[in-house]
Amino acid sequence: MSRLSNHAAITAVATVAAGIEPARRPAESRLFQRGAPPTTTGQLLLEVARFAAENMAFTEQGDAEAAARARDHLMQIRELVTRRLAELPASQDDAGREAL
């Protein structure tokens, strides 16, 4: 191990042990901000991934509890889709179809 990386490792361990938060420079920005409010689209994608995992556990292993959890995820997906559709502006084409 090089001397520089060894020094970095020792500094990191000492910082964690002391409970010191490293100072962040304003120029350093995170891709995902901590504490940022979740978007409906983000929540929807997360629920779809959770549903897929539970559905796979049910279909491959026959886990009945996974089936119940997958059903719960589907209901959550339905609620999120309804909320997302309400967020989107109605297009002119949709208005014409509703009149028919």
Whole-model pTM: value is: 0.56
Would you place residue 84 in the very low, low, confident or very high pLDDT band (cuts 50, 70, 90)?
A: very high
**Which residue's structure tokens are 């179809």?**
97
Rounded distance between C-alpha atoms, residue 36 and residue 29, angstroms: 13
Domain ranges of the chain: 39-88
Instruction: Write the DSSP assignment of 1-43 as a string of letters.
Output: --HHHHHHHHHHHHHHHHTPPPPPPTT---SS-TTPPPPHHHH
Instruction: Write out pLDDT tens, residues 38-67.
Output: 889 999 999 999 999 999 999 999 989 999
pLDDT at 57: 92
CB 77 within 8 A of CB 43: no
